[in-house]
Structure 1
């Protein structure tokens, strides 16, 4: 799995609908709409550190080991326990309100968050 590196958001589909479902305020949705989010991933064996940089210098870092329960945090600051697993070539995790997968496909980082029928798909290029 070649997740390690810095990734810049290229495109996103379903952004507004997904944010509204999570009750993110309209002004925050607007600020993030065209923001080129940076994701930085380091990997040491089965242990990952996954940092996402958001507008206004906000960032969230989650460190996890595959198949081991760990403490996680959402961008909204909500803390929860979860286990990241590998499903084929994807990293998969269930957040409190949605399910998230990440994979490398065609040299791109593809992240899909799904809550019911609402899907957010983010595609990032490696820097």
Structure 2
């Protein structure tokens, strides 16, 4: 499945709860409420360049499916993760949440859910 494209966020669910989970302040949550984030994806086989464009910041992560990559969250936190492909979806665990991405009806659908880690 090809992910290459430029996508503008159309709708969001549980916006406040998710941003609080990842450590965004109430002030920034309110400021960003009506911002339409643009996600630009370049896919070359299993290699991806994933860019999210915000009004005051651009965040780019590069990764290869199945290989550990250095990533960065919107809050600037650096971490290592391995992005997997499962049933046509990209799947990755960020520090505080589980993230899946798929193309559905020609649109990029991103789902981020909090998770617990039991050791």
TM-score, reference length from structure 2: 0.93
Tell me the equivalent position of 1:44. 44
Is residue 2:18 matched to residue 1:54?
no
Higher RCO (CA < 8 A, seq sep 6+): 1
More strand by share: 1
Unaligned runs of 5+ in 2: none
Residue 16 (structure 1) shift: 0.5
Instruction: Tell me which stretches of 4 or more aligned residues in structure 1 moved more than 6 Å.
Output: none
Tell me the equivalent position of 1:95. 94
1:15-73 superposed Cα distances (whole Å, 9 cap, x missing partner): 011111222111110122111100000011100000001132x0110000000001000
Conserved? CA contact 2:91–2:100, under 8 Å? yes
Tell me the equivalent position of 2:20. 20
TM-score, reference length from structure 1: 0.87
For 1:96 and 1:21, the matched residues in 2 are separated by 11
Unaligned runs of 5+ in 1: 118-127
Conserved? CA contact 1:41–1:50, under 8 Å? yes
RMSD between aligned alpha carbons?
Answer: 1.2
Tell me the equivalent position of 1:86. 85
The count of corresponding residues between Structure 1 and Structure 2 is 116
Conserved? CA contact 2:51–2:61, under 8 Å? yes
Tell me the equivalent position of 1:8. 8
Conserved? CA contact 2:70–2:78, under 8 Å? yes
